[in-house]
Structure 1
Amino acid sequence: MGVQPGLREVAAGLLQDERLLRACAARDMGAVFRLLNARGLSTRRIAAAVEIGQGRLYDYMNGKTRVEKLALFEQIADAFHIPGELLGLARRPWEPDATPEPPTSAQALSEADGDDLVTVDAFRRADRQAGGGRLYSAVVHHLSGKVAPRLVDVASSPQVFAAAAALTETAGWMAHDSGRDDLAARHFARALPLARAAGDLPLAAHVAASTSHLSLQAGDPVKAAHWAAVGIELARRGPRLPGLMARLNTMLARAMASSRQYGPAVQALDRAHAALAVGADDENPWLSPFDDATLAGESALALRDLGQSEQALRHGEQAVALREEGRTRSLTLSRIALARIHVDCGDLDAAVGVGTELLNTSPTLGSVRVVHQLDELGQLFRQYREYSPVRDYLARFDEACKARMLLLADIVSSSRGGSR
């Protein structure tokens, strides 16, 4: 392709930059191009290197559109010598052999375990930023091709089973985010025995919490409460992890609130807040983090179900304020919940204000769950369309939804065969 001198050297200097690693994990090529440009590469040279026009490059850099085609990802990787693994690609032909000398069995297991942790973290970070709709097939392919064969190796360490459990649970969340709750339930059901096989009680409890969440989304608060209780019992038998216990008690509170059991729900929420006040988890690398922003968002939902609108509003505002911009899906879901709570409180102007912020959500966020919740929010606003600010907002909202549906038509249509 005749790459000009200096391009690969500039990219190589960024390979240890956390910003580049985050952008690659999210497959956000616009951010990659901006970093290269900031390091002195002109947009003309970048566009020429990957054989696209400068206008198209500017669209990527300005977030107007995203790279979606596999061939272009490969072109970018090869032009700047970005390792294929960083972009979810196979090893590129120019990449050196990673194992020039055969390691000992102990070294091989240790290195594989370390790679598993990196992989789990990369998939989870990409999912939080870009949504699970376009990542689900990638994690399933990795599970079947890279992880499953090692489960039958007698030399495999328990960490291989932990990695399989964590990735299977992650696949479940991606399936849920894709609107395929039937697949999500099967993944969670498979993840639990894998976590038990690893001897990792906190990871097993973590999977139980995910199953509780899915049950609640399916409208079964009794099952949700059951799985939260199972997780709490598993967590109590393992090492003390405050964030995990906070998450489990939060799910129990959500289940109780959905059943209108005010006292048990508030007590469970109080336990969740008390647990997280002790500190965050850092002892188990296989668990997804549970932070103050997540607790605030879940508390808002529970209190809304209990009819405590003013308290729900306080927690909903806190969730939006705490949620970092890098967590696009979480921030979007928190804003949707906050807009609903403002409507509950009768403050339509505030609801429109939050709804306006939602219009800036990336239309390429690959989350069917977000699409469905935005649809529900639109239906809620339509009940008040006689109020002119709501009517004006709905015109913009509908245009944004049309654009989103055009960009996500493939993953939305594929989800219709599964449960919502």
Structure 2
Amino acid sequence: MRLPPSPAELPKRLLSDPAFVHALQDRDFSVVFAMANGTGISFNRIAEACGMKADRVSKVAHGNAAVTALETIERIADGLRIPGALLGLAERPWENPAQTPRLESDDGDDPMKRRQILRGGLAAGLTGTALATLNTTRQSFDEALAASTPADLPDLEAAAESYGYGYHGQAPSRVLADLVTDFANIRPLLASPQPVATRIRLCRTAGQMAGMTAIVLHDLGGRRQARNWFATAARAAHESKDRQLHAWILAREAMVPLNYGAPQTAAHLAEQARRTAGTAPTAAATLAAAVAARAYALARQPDQVHNALADADRLMEQLSGDQRADTWFGHCEQKHHVHLSHALTVLGDTRRARESQHRALELSAPTSTMTRTLLAIDSAACAHHDGDTEQACRRATAALSALPPDYRSGLVHTRAMDLYRSIPAQHRRQPAVRDLREVLSA
């Protein structure tokens, strides 16, 4: 197989420099890249030739990263035209072109011409050129299947896991900026040929990050953008063949219409998530049942509410430890009670709603600003339902006033506005109701 000319071929004098040769023998690429750069070859050119990122080449050159993967070392040898022996590798194909079968024509990769060459060689039997061609074709495919994992993938997977722990006191807008920046690093990897297992991991990570981006957008009030990101997340999850991730994305997507006045659409998405998750007790299945209960409550379908709540409670009791993780991908007890609080509040079952609110607050971390505020608004709605509208408005006003500015929009504002709109017009001149309206207007 003929290799294209290297855009970063090293000067011959460098390959005879004792310091450079010693660095090659030690595979000290910090020195190799620095000395190559010293001859006028930019880090961008080295990166292009070796199939690496320019910032990674720069980090290696400055001693802040290392190269250990054999596949990367081979790419460096081929990209910089370093003879294999200097790096402890076998002779590279470009070192002795006469011994390397050429499967490409001067005009590029021509399948018809390759077929003719192979047929001509096979006419003489399984010897010589034909056998070498067969071996080269098979070996190149084996190398593609066994290609090492891209260096950035483990970091991206770790980043997705880290984001899954939620806001941790950070403003949603800041989390969003970080998420989207890391998500953008997945695209170049997906655009390059990857082994099947690696592509599955990339798609799974992309689905997780796109789904979390959609969640933050939803919390900030960007429902249209959230739907678009959920669609991207669902496509990535589908390609990853991870049904539980796909179900989780559908259940989270259902919360967009749920919180913005379209409960029937939310119920449809939640039921789709339940079907995708299956009957096994998983975090995604439990979340889907809980979201379905909330949607049915808003749609005034009490029978379906009770059935979905019963399923959610049953699944919750059976969840394993890892499925109960307190992350966006898990379904911990605190999160379960947050969903139950909303469903039972809307249903008018204020006694059970308050029990869930109390338990959820017990389990909430002090940094769970948005969660605690939503629970406070549920508590206020229960007070209004039980006839104490003045107390309800005071609680909601206090909860909103205590929030940092970045948290006073989106979902929190919508839920508080729902409470205000439920107050009969004849009560809206009361001081506590006016105070709530002023906070909402601000």
The match for 1:153 among 185, 192, 199 is: 192
Q: What is the SS of the residue equivalent to 1:133? A: helix
Q: Cα–Cα, structure 1 residues 221 and 377, in superposed 2: closer, same or farther, change >3 Å?
A: closer
Residues 15-414 of structure 1 correspond to what in structure 2 (within 5 A)?
Answer: 97-104=63-70, 109=149, 112-125=152-165, 127=167, 129-144=169-184, 146-155=185-194, 157=198, 158-236=200-278, 240-280=280-320, 282=322, 288-348=329-389, 351=392, 352-353=394-395, 355-356=397-398, 358-365=400-407, 367-377=409-419, 384=427, 390=432, 394=435, 398=438
- Structure 2: gaps (5+ residues): 1-54, 72-145
The answer for unaligned runs of 5 or more in structure 1 is 1-89, 406-420
Structure 2: distance between partners of 1:265 and 1:111: 47
| Offset at residue 164 of structure 1 (A) | 0.5
CA shift at 1:98, angstroms?
4.6
- Counting aligned pairs with the same residue, the percent is 19
How far residue 172 of structure 1 moved from its aligned partner, in angstroms, is 0.9
The letter of the residue matching 1:309 is: T
Amino acid in the other structure paired with 1:152: A
3-state SS, counterpart of residue 344 of structure 2 = helix
CA contact (8 A) 1:244 1:281 kept: no
The one-letter code matched in structure 2 to 1:359 is S
271-280 or 95-104, which deviates more: 95-104
Q: Which amino acid aligns with 1:260?
A: R
Contact 1:378 1:394 in 2 (8 A): no
State the one-letter code of the partner of 1:202. Answer: Q
Q: Give the letter for the 1:101 counterpart.
A: V
Superposition deviation, residue 280 in structure 1: 4.8
1:23-65 CA deviation, whole Å, 9 max, x = no partner? Answer: xxxxxxxxxxxxxxxxxxxxxxxxxxxxxxxxxxxxxxxxxxx
Q: Count the aligned residue pairs.
A: 306
Q: Mark the structure with the bigger radius of gyration.
A: 2
Partner of 2:83: none
Match of 2:74 in 1: none
Code of the residue aligned with 1:330 in structure 2: it is T
Q: Measure, in 1, the Cα distance between the counterparts of 2:368 and 2:147.
A: 35
What is the aligned partner in structure 1 of residue 103 from structure 2? Answer: none
Greater relative CO, 1 or 2 (CA 8 Å, sep 6+)? 1
Q: For 1:335 and 1:310, how far apart are their aligned partners in 2?
A: 15
CA distance in 2, matches of 1:254, 1:246: 13
Question: How many Å separate the matches in 1 of 2:408 and 2:399?
Answer: 18
Contact 1:381 1:394 in 2 (8 A): no
Question: In structure 2, how many angstroms separate the alpha carbons of the residues matched to 1:299 and 1:394?
Answer: 28
Kindly report the root-mean-square deviation, in angstroms, between the aligned alpha carbons of the 2 structures: 3.5
- Offset at 1:230? 1.8
Q: Deviations over 1:136-195 (max 9, x none)?
A: 344223322x01111122225111100101111111112212211111111111111211
Residue type matched to 1:290 in 2?
H
Whether the 8 Å contact between 1:280 and 1:290 is mirrored in structure 2 is no
